[in-house]
A and B are shown apart, each in its own frame.
Chain A
Amino acid sequence: MAEDLVKALVDLSEEEALKIVQERLDAGDAPLKILDDARSAMTIIGDRFSEGEYFIPELVYSGEIMTEISEIIKPKLAKAPDFKRQGKVVIGTVAGDIHDIGKNIVVLMLDTHGFEVHDLGVDIAPEKFVETIREVKPEVVGLSGFLTLAYDAMKETIAAIKDAGLRDQVKIMIGGGQMDNRVREYVGADAYGPDAMAAVSLAKGWVGGK
């Protein structure tokens, strides 16, 4: 049964996957185990994305199916699932920029791969990043931006993190449309990633190093 769910989700058979979830619940399977199987399917999907077999639409679609599964499972759980988290990430699109398609996929993949993700949303002021970092104490910070107007916003955000005395406590990655390594250097980030799985790789690398 477990393999059925994993296969159905990995194959993006939405109806099939939801049917299996319901059948397993009716059969008395532990809800947490069902959720866990769904999450391992998401990991496989992430791998297929890295390998160039799946693309953003598959991530978006599987993300939606995953949400539907969670909605069926969560009411059945005695308490909120407490997955072992390998690290914490604070992420947001920087001030003046309201794009988030890419960021949302990064959030999905980081969450799937066991990170505790604090997604601030879009158009986030440097102060908000600083405040959240102070509170959450993440290992990793992700700055998303689409347009060239994001360059200075990222530079200011990283400067604010530095001024708050927090720069050494975090690794900072950037990504998005007009971002690249030249921008990474300009803004003072630790890395640039071209897509969601690159973000996962970077985050894993940094957390693993601790």
Chain B
Amino acid sequence: MAKSAEELYEERLKRSLDAMQLKLPDTVPVIPIIQAFPMYYAGITIQESMEDISKAAEAWDKFLADFDPDMTQGPLLSLPAKVMERLDLRWFKWPGHGLPASKMYQYVEGEYMKADEYDEFVFDPTHFMLTKWLPRTLGALEGLSKLPLIRDAMWFGWFSIVGAFGLPEVREAFETLTDAAEELAKYNAACAAYVEKMKKMGFPSSYGGFSWAPFDLVGDTLRGSHGIMTDMFRRPDKLLKAIEKMIPISIEMGVGPAIASGIPLVWIWLHKGCAGFMSDEQFQKFYWPSLRALIMGCIEGGIIPVVYCEGDYTPRLEHIKDVPRGKVVYHFERIDMIKAKEALGGIACIMGGLPNSLLVLGTTEEVKEYCKWLIDTAGKDGGYIMASGALVDEAKPENLKTMFDFTHEYGYEVYT
């Protein structure tokens, strides 16, 4: 007898959480990290999906009709192009805005916080974000740079805030924000609706909130890659102060939304801590302690941190294994999986490691072999979730299907 969507939902949720918490699941869960694939699969362009989220949702319907992830995220990665366009977002190019209609959106390097702005950023991050970062990164909000020091509003200090609204550029910025908010509401509503829809179809949602390593919060969209790398040499103390300031911010970014959504997972996307991008000493000094604080903050908030380790994390294993047992998931893009299991077995759940190039260019036999190897290596006694190394855009559908089907079948064999 076929299972009901409700039964499938509970089964998949339990399977996923069991693996994450190092309990033995009924089979190896598949939690793919899917980006543009449903659009290619449904035959629409990425541009279309970003300009009209209902098209993205339809593409996801087709995807979920043929594939059976144990958790997945729905169309939220079809970012709202009209909102980004309206606000003139500077650090992104996307299809229809600097890129062809079916090429994935990409980050544009820039320095949105200058080297000499550390002190003011740390002293009052809100003022910096409001009057410098927002105007610099969202061109249409240039007027916000005219806002006064809101922290000085006590007594009649608020006169200056009111006064600012007499400036045409400030008014314009707020009108633009109102327009953008209306457009964004459609995207937010569609994403929330899809979480509910997926539940009715039997699929748990794989995100409750997102966050980033405190180092990356300073490095990604504030200082930029060149900036953050040279800051480690030129102004290490200021950098460390800024990183420390980011710790509670990184926790609240992820945990609040996760609790509110009822989905106890925070996805933490790491960027600069991988092999090659810093030395072991730099990792220990600048990257890990604050990241660990974020991980602990999630755990203390009752949330499971799913830490996506972009790049190769093999040299970092000896540090990242220092976390409470059964509370953390590490998703690896590239890793020596044997060493990973040695370091993390019985401590944290391992996810990923399947090369995207295999999904794009390999044969179904090769995919099967690799999945088998991953499960044999990392999945003994549980604690492993199948996923590709990086977000899936291009992939041969039969390869992706093999990843799902073989993993579920073989995992069931191994765990019975």
Query: 7 smallest A-B Cβ distances: which pairs?
Result: A57-B229, A96-B103, A148-B394, A60-B229, A182-B357, A98-B106, A186-B361
Residues of B within 8 A of A146 (CB): 106
- A12: contacting residue among B108, B109, B233, CB under 8 A: B233
Check A166 for interface membership: any CB of B closer than 8 A.
no
A61 touches B103 (CB 8 A): no
Contact flags (1/0) for A86-101 with B, using CB distance below 8 Å? 0000000000111111
- Subset of 24 A-B contacts with CB under 8 Å: A14-B233, A55-B279, A55-B282, A56-B276, A57-B229, A60-B226, A60-B230, A61-B229, A61-B234, A96-B99, A98-B93, A98-B99, A101-B225, A123-B99, A147-B104, A147-B106, A147-B393, A148-B357, A149-B104, A151-B360, A152-B394, A177-B390, A182-B355, A182-B357
Check B277 for interface membership: any CB of A closer than 8 A.
yes
Contact flags (1/0) for B110-154 with A, using CB distance below 8 Å? 000000000000000000000000000000000000000000000
- B355: contacting residue among A55, A151, A180, CB under 8 A: A180
Given A96-B100, A101-B109, A149-B393; A57-B278 close (CB under 8 Å): yes
Using CB atoms, name the residue of chain A closest to B233.
A61
Residues of A within 8 A of B (CB): 12, 14, 54-57, 60-61, 64, 96-101, 123, 146-149, 151-152, 177-180, 182-183, 186, 195
A14 touches B106 (CB 8 A): no
B229 touches A149 (CB 8 A): no
Contact flags (1/0) for B357-379 with A, using CB distance below 8 Å? 11011100000000000000000
Check B356 for interface membership: any CB of A closer than 8 A.
yes
Given A57-B282, A61-B229, A147-B104; A182-B109 close (CB under 8 Å): no
Residues of B within 8 A of A (CB): 93, 98-100, 103-104, 106, 108-109, 225-226, 229-230, 232-234, 276-279, 282, 355-358, 360-362, 390, 393-395
Complex-state Cα separation, A69 to B230, whole angstroms: 16
Given A55-B279, A149-B103; A61-B230 close (CB under 8 Å): yes
A64 touches B103 (CB 8 A): no
Complex-state Cα separation, A105 to B360, whole angstroms: 27
Residues of A within 8 A of B282 (CB): 55, 57
Complex-state Cα separation, A114 to B110, whole angstroms: 29
- B394: contacting residue among A151, A182, A195, CB under 8 A: A151
Using CB atoms, name the residue of chain B closest to A59.
B229
Complex-state Cα separation, A183 to B232, whole angstroms: 34
Please give the distance in Å from B356's CB to the nearest CB on chain A.
5
Complex-state Cα separation, A183 to B355, whole angstroms: 11
A56 touches B277 (CB 8 A): yes
Residues of A within 8 A of B103 (CB): 96-97, 149
Complex-state Cα separation, A61 to B115, whole angstroms: 14
Please give the distance in Å from A174's CB to the nearest CB on chain B.
12
B234 touches A14 (CB 8 A): yes
Please give the distance in Å from B3's CB to the nearest CB on chain A.
34
Residue from A54, A57, A96, A146 having most chain B Cβ neighbours under 10 A: A57
A57 touches B394 (CB 8 A): no
Given A60-B226, A60-B230, A148-B393; A182-B358 close (CB under 8 Å): yes
Complex-state Cα separation, A56 to B232, whole angstroms: 12
Residue from B100, B108, B229, B232 having most chain A Cβ neighbours under 10 A: B229
B357 touches A56 (CB 8 A): no
Complex-state Cα separation, A95 to B357, whole angstroms: 18
- B106: contacting residue among A54, A99, A180, CB under 8 A: A99
Please give the distance in Å from B167's CB to the nearest CB on chain A.
35
Residues of B within 8 A of A60 (CB): 225-226, 229-230
Complex-state Cα separation, A186 to B100, whole angstroms: 23
Complex-state Cα separation, A183 to B357, whole angstroms: 7
Please give the distance in Å from A107's CB to the nearest CB on chain B.
14
Please give the distance in Å from A63's CB to the nearest CB on chain B.
9
Please give the distance in Å from B240's CB to the nearest CB on chain A.
15
Residues of A within 8 A of B278 (CB): 55-57
Given A96-B103, A99-B106; A182-B361 close (CB under 8 Å): yes
Complex-state Cα separation, A64 to B234, whole angstroms: 12
Q: Can you name 15 extra interface pairs (CB under 8 A) apart from A60-B230, A151-B394?
A: A14-B234, A55-B277, A55-B278, A55-B282, A57-B229, A57-B232, A60-B225, A60-B226, A96-B103, A123-B99, A146-B106, A148-B360, A148-B393, A179-B357, A186-B361
Please give the distance in Å from B335's CB to the nearest CB on chain A.
14
Using CB atoms, name the residue of chain B closest to A57.
B229
